[in-house]
Structure 1
Amino acid sequence: MESYSFVIVGGGIAGVSCAEGLALLCPEKQILLITASPVVKAVSNIIHLTKTLCEFDVKELKTEQFADSLPTVSVIQDTVTSINTKEHTVCTVGGKCIKYEKICICTGGSPKLIMEDNPFVLGIRDTESVKEFETRIKGARRIVVVGNGGIATELVHEVQGLQIIWAIKDKHVSATFVDPGAAEFFQTRLLRAEDKETSQVSSPVKRLKYTVHGFSGMKDGLGGAALGPDWHATFDIHGIHPGRMVTVEYETEVQNVSHRADSTDSSDESWPIHVHLTNGKIYGCDFIVSATGVTPNSSIFATDDKLILADDGGIKVNWKMETSIPDTFAAGDVCTASWERAPHWFQMRLWTQARQMGMYAAKSMAASLAGEEEVLQDFSFELFSHVTRFFGYKVVLLGLYNGQTLDGQYEVLLRVTKDMEYIKLVIKDGKMQGAVLIGETDLEEMCENLILNQLDLSVYGEDLLNPDIDIEDYFD
């Protein structure tokens, strides 16, 4: 029977970050990464913007290429069928039975589809599903996008050459990340049909891309590794018409779908599928994109009654990323942070947090194997921080950027320059609690420090965002 000091299940950002961390911390120990996909997701081109905030690319590596880059890491492409935590063994579809000392579950999450087993409903979560989307979009005239998170927002902005019906349950777009004011700031780019300023042409992509043939994702209903930043930039996602047109249907959800219906859009075209919305409207389309979040891939481990799951289906982990089972850790989308959290940090299933959790799990696993009791929690869990791009703008989110957990007891300072920048500071009792920075503001480091230090800003008042004052000079 093969034996390893560490076994990691899952080849996404969390799993790969964990493997890389263990290879660095324990260069004499053997590590095994088990992934059902022929490619793994690795982080590259890391740019540290602040102590907690960094930009990076996600590159896809063939499993053998990743294994060759780290001498103590072995990779097998297989699917785990069971984990015997008492015997410390892992069994796979390929018939392997592997013994371990410490194991980390990094199986990620699967897209929540509005309708299962419907060929006209496509969830976008991993590289394989984006390839399917790329194939379908080439002959499409109209699609319906359901969801209001990051993938839906990026997709609506990036796709060209067809009509998009965007169905959202909120009163404004991108509600997962921004408030109505920021959504209004985005509105110009969202609705401008001739807008060509997409990420596909505005910046080079510094990553390798492998196309996998004959692979349709993981078995047992699990998808491949989650997408990283700029996931759309290496794909041809254009329809058959010039330009595009976006129609946003607010405060509505999908009631049902049918193959025959009288659409409310006055279109004479025939459509393979029709979407019935709760606002009474019916739209015909070529297919539906379901981008309504993810469900943690923890179900294959739920048969073990000692493994405690959170209400959202994720595996509960403590501040060391330990599960309820000894020697069993979890990181990334599959887990739920169940420790007493810092005032300005919360969990959101993003590729940035998957990387942070994977790296920290490696640190905790190495300490556990060495018998070290004291492990200092990573600084990244002190402050929620995320950087991405929406509608061509750089977007930085820090702390309680939408007033999360503040029960509406806060004030907001705003500075908006049309088509250039949107700055929102969340203030409570004179102290900064969060920030939304859209555009090239160069304020992320200052805002991070002010949130962490909880400096009383009452004396500055609205001058904090006075464009005639270089406020950064105050806090150097």
Structure 2
Amino acid sequence: MAANTEKTFKFVVVGGGIAGVTCAEQLASQFPSAEVALLTAAPLIKAVCNFKQISKTLEEFDVEERPSSVLEEKYPNLRVIQSAVKRLHAQQHTLQTVDGLEIHYEKLCICSGGRPKLLAQDNPYVLGIRDTDSAQEFQKRLSKAKRIVVVGNGGIALELVYEVEGCEVIWAVKDKAIGNTFFDAGAAQFLIPSLDKDKPERAATCKRARYTIEGPAATQGLAVGAGGDRQGQSRGLEEPGSALGPDWHEGISLRGAEEVSHRVSVEYQSEVKQIYTHQDFLLSPLSFFIFIFSSTVLFSHTIGSWPVYAQLTNGKTFGCDFIVSATGVVPNTEPFLHGNNFALAEDSGLKVDDHMMTSEPDIYAAGDVCTAGWEPSHLWQQMRLWTQARQMGWYAGRCMAAGVLSETIELDFCFELFSHITKFFNYKVVLLGKFNGQGLGLNQELLVRCTKGHEYVKVVLSGGRMLGAVLIGETDLEETFENLILNQMDLTSYGEELLNPNIDIEDYFD
């Protein structure tokens, strides 16, 4: 092998998303004289900026898309290599890229993210929204659309159905309420009226810089959607970039071809049973039934000539311009598994211990690609969110450093209490601990305070102690409730007074 096709680095990180970039930055700053490599299939990397520590565990930040040169200028010992990984030889401590480069490492961290679970892999009318390129492709298609079908009930689906204007949205959710990943049916009912309101005016400025790589549109590749920091055959039509960060929709216009401002119809407990192209639909039995029963609820939305049709499990069929598949992600472990012996979790993620180490020697993992394999705190659970990607990437970098220096390191405090701050339907949303009573079964008590159009507050109690909370709106309760959850104070004597709006609870427990 020619000399210029072999490279040796002390640390190698795979993935240009939040977890990978955070890990690489941590290593490059802690070891300024060591060679650090960041491998990414995408031409741009995602970096955390405007970071704010809101409380002990709550943090808020923006995500900035940057050319890799910015990282290399900041850290002279950090080399960004734009290439996809072809194969990993764990025992030999080497990586092969699709460009023929062989990379030797002392310590490796895999941060290859997740890839969407798409409804249909090869259908040009099915889009997965995962990275910046696919978000821009969605914007382009939406501008000509009169109706779309959105399938999914997670974060991207929640943001998308609220942001889209000028286009009818049919939202198919498999659950009895919207957003069950993040909140309960009560919170869902609080948020639902927002779908019928005109959205408030926003400043035209974009929170973070965007860079555009000129080139042919990767329509087919984007239709097959894709993962966070996915490393596959080659960057191009089939190779997506890093996962979207918070507020991904800011700075792009999500407007369709109609004059209508905001029209969303929710189809509960529904999944896609069958997808038909226009031609297939005309040849199907459904086409015959429509002509006979076109006025019934099952077929009233199907009339017209549409490029694609979605038949739902509730019996309804909808014609639309395209379908958005927002049904979650799976850990993107290819091509690291072949020939190696990684322990995998039930969700197919790389199982990591409390030092973010996989079962293979000197290989760590962070972000969506990994699954926590340690016994977690009773107040923490893993969710594949950008906040945890940052935390895991940062902690993995510290663990790799400790391994090299033969130092001991304790599990970081961020894994003590689950905490997440975001925005849905233009409301601030804070989630703490076992916010949905995860794993508590019947051994829980709920206290709820709701002011329509203003705030929704729910706390989860067990044995008189607060274990979780959902805060929607400007409640200013997050730090107080975080302390109550962490301190595990017995709140039995306070009862429902805990949520009495006439009591300044912050002063009460100071």
- Normalised-by-shorter TM-score class: over 0.9
Moved more, 22-31 or 142-151: 22-31
Counterparts of residues 218-237 of structure 1 (less than 5 Å)? 219-220=232-233, 223-237=240-254
Deviation at 1:87, TM superposition (A): 1.8
AA of the residue aligned to 1:141: K
Q: Distance in 1 between matches of 2:239 and 2:342?
A: 19
Q: Which residue of 2 aligns with 1:426?
A: 460
AA of the residue aligned to 1:208: A
Q: Distance in 2 between matches of 1:392 and 1:69?
A: 35
Q: Distance in 2 between matches of 1:137 and 1:253?
A: 22
Q: 1:140 aligns with which of 132, 145, 148?
A: 145
Q: Which residue of 2 aligns with 1:58?
A: 63
AA of the residue aligned to 1:450: L
Question: Does 1:454 pair with 2:488?
Answer: yes
Question: Does 1:197 pair with 2:205?
Answer: no
Q: 1:22 aligns with which of 24, 27, 38?
A: 27
Q: Distance in 2 between matches of 1:177 and 1:212?
A: 34
AA of the residue aligned to 2:264: V
Q: Which residue of 2 aligns with 1:296?
A: 331
Q: Distance in 1 between matches of 2:316 and 2:146?
A: 19
The superposition leaves residues 76-130 of structure 1 with CA deviations (integer Å, 9 ceiling, x where unpaired) of 1101111222221111111111111000000000011011110000001111110
Is the contact between residue 154 and residue 390 of structure 1 (CA under 8 Å) also seen in structure 2? yes
Q: Which residue of 1 aligns with 2:224?
A: none
AA of the residue aligned to 1:411: E
Q: Distance in 1 between matches of 2:132 and 2:305?
A: 30
Deviation at 1:393, TM superposition (A): 0.2
Q: Which residue of 2 aligns with 1:405?
A: 439
Q: Which residue of 1 aligns with 2:3?
A: none
Q: 1:343 aligns with which of 378, 393, 397?
A: 378
Q: Which residue of 2 aligns with 1:308?
A: 343
AA of the residue aligned to 2:272: V
Q: Which residue of 2 aligns with 1:209?
A: 210
Q: Distance in 2 between matches of 1:17 and 1:354?
A: 9
CA RMSD between the two structures: 1.4
Q: 2:269 aligns with which of 241, 248, 251?
A: 251
Q: Distance in 1 between matches of 2:182 and 2:43?
A: 32
Q: Distance in 2 between matches of 1:173 and 1:131?
A: 25
The superposition leaves residues 241-281 of structure 1 with CA deviations (integer Å, 9 ceiling, x where unpaired) of 12121110001110011122447125542100000001100
AA of the residue aligned to 1:214: G
Deviation at 1:28, TM superposition (A): 2.1
The superposition leaves residues 298-326 of structure 1 with CA deviations (integer Å, 9 ceiling, x where unpaired) of 03112134211111111000000000011
The superposition leaves residues 345-395 of structure 1 with CA deviations (integer Å, 9 ceiling, x where unpaired) of 0110010000000000000000111122x1111110001111110000000
**What is the SS of the residue equivalent to 1:448?**
helix
Is the contact between residue 29 and residue 75 of structure 2 (CA under 8 Å) also seen in structure 1? no
The total of aligned residue pairs comes to 471
The superposition leaves residues 152-202 of structure 1 with CA deviations (integer Å, 9 ceiling, x where unpaired) of 00000001001000000100111111101000100110133xx1227xx26
Instruction: Specify whether residues 267 and 284 from structure 1 end up closer, same or farther in structure 2 by C-alpha distance, changes over 3 A only.
Output: closer
Counterparts of residues 24-423 of structure 1 (less than 5 Å)? 24-192=29-197, 195-197=198-200, 201=202, 204-214=205-215, 216=218, 219-220=232-233, 223-242=240-259, 243-259=261-277, 260=281, 261=287, 262=290, 264-266=299-301, 268-372=303-407, 374-423=408-457
Q: Distance in 2 between matches of 1:165 and 1:441?
A: 32
**What is the SS of the residue equivalent to 1:68?**
helix
* Gap regions ≥5 residues in structure 2: 1-5, 222-230, 282-286, 291-297
Q: Distance in 2 between matches of 1:305 and 1:92?
A: 16
AA of the residue aligned to 1:211: T
AA of the residue aligned to 1:196: K
Is the contact between residue 22 and residue 47 of structure 2 (CA under 8 Å) also seen in structure 1? yes
Moved more, 110-119 or 305-314: 305-314
Q: Distance in 1 between matches of 2:302 and 2:119?
A: 24
TM-score when scaled to structure 2?
Answer: 0.90
Deviation at 1:72, TM superposition (A): 1.6
Q: Distance in 1 between matches of 2:325 and 2:214?
A: 24
AA of the residue aligned to 1:344: L
Is the contact between residue 317 and residue 330 of structure 1 (CA under 8 Å) also seen in structure 2? yes
Instruction: Specify whether residues 203 and 310 from structure 1 end up closer, same or farther in structure 2 by C-alpha distance, changes over 3 A only.
Output: farther
Q: Which residue of 2 aligns with 1:439?
A: 473
**What is the SS of the residue equivalent to 2:335?**
helix
AA of the residue aligned to 2:200: E
Q: Distance in 2 between matches of 1:203 and 1:458?
A: 48
The superposition leaves residues 212-239 of structure 1 with CA deviations (integer Å, 9 ceiling, x where unpaired) of 2227476435532111100001212100
Q: Distance in 2 between matches of 1:266 and 1:337?
A: 44
Q: Distance in 2 between matches of 1:222 and 1:336?
A: 23
Q: Distance in 1 between matches of 2:206 and 2:401?
A: 34
Moved more, 65-74 or 414-423: 65-74
**What is the SS of the residue equivalent to 2:245?**
coil
TM-score when scaled to structure 1?
Answer: 0.96
**What is the SS of the residue equivalent to 1:398?**
strand
Percent identity between matched residues is: 54
Q: Distance in 1 between matches of 2:262 and 2:306?
A: 18
Q: Distance in 2 between matches of 1:336 and 1:398?
A: 20
Q: Distance in 1 between matches of 2:428 and 2:186?
A: 16
Moved more, 154-163 or 267-276: 267-276
* Gap regions ≥5 residues in structure 1: none
**What is the SS of the residue equivalent to 1:104?**
strand
